[in-house]
Structure 1
Amino acid sequence: MNHKAGYLYVATGQKYIKEAEYSASSLKEVMPNSNITLITDKDYSSPFFDNVILQGFDSIDEKSWKANLVYKIMGISKSPYEKTIFLDTDTYIIEPFNELFELLDHFEVMIAPDYYDKNNIQINGKVVEGYYPYNTGVLAFSKTQQTKRFIDDWLSIYIEELQDFWSDQQAFMKALIKVNVKLFVLSSIYNFRFLNNVGLPDAEKVRILHSRSSKEEFIRIAKLVNSDTSQRVWVAPLRKIFNWESKKMFQGIRNILYPLIKTNK
């Protein structure tokens, strides 16, 4: 394989392979020349995957659902690319984001915050205050000695402390403390988890939606978040986006109603 940069999915089981295929189809629609690899445990063919790498599942001792997270990290460690963008299977691509490959000329690992995961990270039995997990559903990395060591440590820490972690993200954070890699924190436009409230920067479109949903809902949310690219806030319970104009509108309504409320008291 001659491609030095590409996109990686790791999936097993028909449900998640189909989910990865759907995500890959959205990626190909936005960036047709993308090179995409699927790492899985059984032969699979799809026009949306340029390469399929087989990796056995039998070597994993864990029998719970956490075995899938062990497999995920193992798959990430097998990336065939010099520069990799790993994507969870429940992502949906709505805008090009290949600029991340250029950023990897300057950084080794790039990842976005997780606004939901507030699990404490403990080092030597002591909580590291204010150190909250990133979301490993979108992960860009270059192939260096340091990133290899980092991913290997991520895997070993997760396996060793499997019973204490509900996801692989705490192990990721512990590996970050242990191994010195050049890290860049991505904006949420690259990992827009629309089940959470999220602030979005001015003049930037969301590139990647991340959460399970129907195609119709993905398209609807894409229109909502990118129809106006001013500084804005996504309010998840309402499934609505609010910007500065929205604020001025609400202030106007408040200015009209507030005197009426005071009069009626």
Structure 2
Amino acid sequence: MVRSGRGAIYMALGPTFIEEARISAESVRRFMPDLRLVLFTDHPPLERGVFDEVIPLEEVHPKVHVNKLIAMLRSPFEQTILLDTDTFVCAPFGELFELLDHFDVAMSHDRRYIDWCPKNVGVPVAFREFNQGVIVYRQSASLIRTAEESLLWVNRLADMNGWVPDDQPPLRIALYESDLRIATLTSEYNCRFHTFGQVNGEVVILHGRIPGQPFTERNLSRIAACINKKTIPRVYVAGRVYALERPSIWGKSYFRSSHIVTMFRPTLGFWRATLRHGREFLRRRGLRDASGYLFCRMRGERQPSQ
């Protein structure tokens, strides 16, 4: 394959995630109008829409996220930014491609609520997992070897643990074993706003879904306005944003934390999602079957057979 230029790629399976990818791609187009956009999917839409090209995935891995590794290998660009469908761009990001003058790949760390990595694969705890929602990379023989090795580790970990991991633990191992030069991005370029983290300066790329709310341009624009209300150092956790302010009294400055905005209320989002899922469950199973299922769950018994 002859690769050229710069571009953004998405991997989306099914209509719901294709629609998310469209919203994300339109946010890219707003700030990076000349950047080419490519969608990898198992359900090619009738019209390309915002995408310059749609590439069908002939074989789909049963573990959805692993298909991102496959899309990485098939990128038509020399320099690529891979974006998850639930990303939303808030500002231009051309400086990310400048990193590729000195590095092979750029990613941000993923500090999950609980980190998971097998202890017998030779990767130190200090070499943390990278989040694959935003990956900037240039195609090279080393990059291709690392992506292919990640796919091999998917099968190895499945054999070791009896279940298939997502894309990030295999890539963590393959990156550690590789000779790639890795640039670590800060959270401003991969802001996991729906959980916890810290930023300093303008957030450029949001990454996540608002609990209990639809993934829409309007909702994500509101989140961007909230988290960028102030650009001094700030932390976010469970929908609330706190800033590290530095006021002064009589010429002496000091630090204090200040709650500046609430982006969303997670408890409200939880109940919205629960009610929505409950309605869907009731529609599928019917009142009698659904009531029996809930009764058994409350008593800790096995659910009735369907």
Task: Report TM bin, short chain.
Answer: 0.7 to 0.9
Corresponding residue number in structure 2 for 1:41: 42
C-alpha displacement at 1:73, in angstroms?
A: 1.3
Corresponding residue number in structure 2 for 1:134: 130
Confirm or deny that 1:15 pairs with 2:19.
Answer: no
Report the AA paired with residue 52 of structure 1.
Answer: V
C-alpha displacement at 1:149, in angstroms?
A: 0.4
Change (3 A) 1:69 1:187: same
Change (3 A) 1:187 1:127: closer
Distance 2:115 2:164 in 1: 9
Corresponding residue number in structure 2 for 1:186: 185
C-alpha displacement at 1:127, in angstroms?
A: 6.4
C-alpha displacement at 1:69, in angstroms?
A: 1.9
Q: Alpha-carbon deviations, 1:138-159, whole Å to 9, x = none?
A: 1111011100101111111113
Please say if residues 206 and 225 of structure 1, whose CA atoms lie closer than 8 Å, have aligned partners that are also in contact: yes
Please say if residues 112 and 191 of structure 1, whose CA atoms lie closer than 8 Å, have aligned partners that are also in contact: yes
Change (3 A) 1:3 1:179: closer
Number of aligned residues: 241
Spell out the pairing of 1:215-254 with structure 2 (5 A cutoff). 215=216, 216-234=218-236, 236-245=237-246, 248=256
Report the AA paired with residue 193 of structure 1.
Answer: R
Please say if residues 12 and 40 of structure 2, whose CA atoms lie closer than 8 Å, have aligned partners that are also in contact: yes
Q: Alpha-carbon deviations, 1:56-85, whole Å to 9, x = none?
A: 135x4x4xxx2x122221111100000000
Distance 2:49 2:86 in 1: 19
Percent of paired sites with the same residue: 31
Which of these two proteins has the greater Rg computed from alpha carbons? 2
Corresponding residue number in structure 1 for 2:198: 199
Confirm or deny that 1:95 pairs with 2:91.
Answer: yes
Distance 1:54 1:238 in 2: 37
Change (3 A) 1:229 1:125: closer
Report the AA paired with residue 209 of structure 1.
Answer: L
Distance 1:85 1:217 in 2: 24
C-alpha displacement at 1:7, in angstroms?
A: 0.3
Unaligned runs of 5+ in 2: 248-254, 259-306
Change (3 A) 1:2 1:152: closer
Give the secondary-structure state (helix, strand or coil) at the position aligned to 1:152.
helix
Deviates further, 84-93 or 121-130: 121-130
Corresponding residue number in structure 2 for 1:121: 117
Corresponding residue number in structure 1 for 2:151: 155
Unaligned runs of 5+ in 1: 251-265
Please say if residues 224 and 241 of structure 1, whose CA atoms lie closer than 8 Å, have aligned partners that are also in contact: no
Please say if residues 4 and 83 of structure 1, whose CA atoms lie closer than 8 Å, have aligned partners that are also in contact: yes
C-alpha displacement at 1:160, in angstroms?
A: 2.8
What TM-score, normalized to structure 1?
0.83
Report the AA paired with residue 38 of structure 1.
Answer: L
Higher relative contact order (CA 8 A, sep 6+): 1
Distance 1:110 1:13 in 2: 28
Confirm or deny that 1:81 pairs with 2:77.
Answer: yes
Confirm or deny that 1:170 pairs with 2:169.
Answer: yes
C-alpha displacement at 1:125, in angstroms?
A: 5.0
Give the secondary-structure state (helix, strand or coil) at the position aligned to 1:156.
helix
Corresponding residue number in structure 1 for 2:208: 211
Q: Alpha-carbon deviations, 1:31-69, whole Å to 9, x = none?
A: 2222101111243223310111122135x4x4xxx2x12
Please say if residues 122 and 128 of structure 1, whose CA atoms lie closer than 8 Å, have aligned partners that are also in contact: no
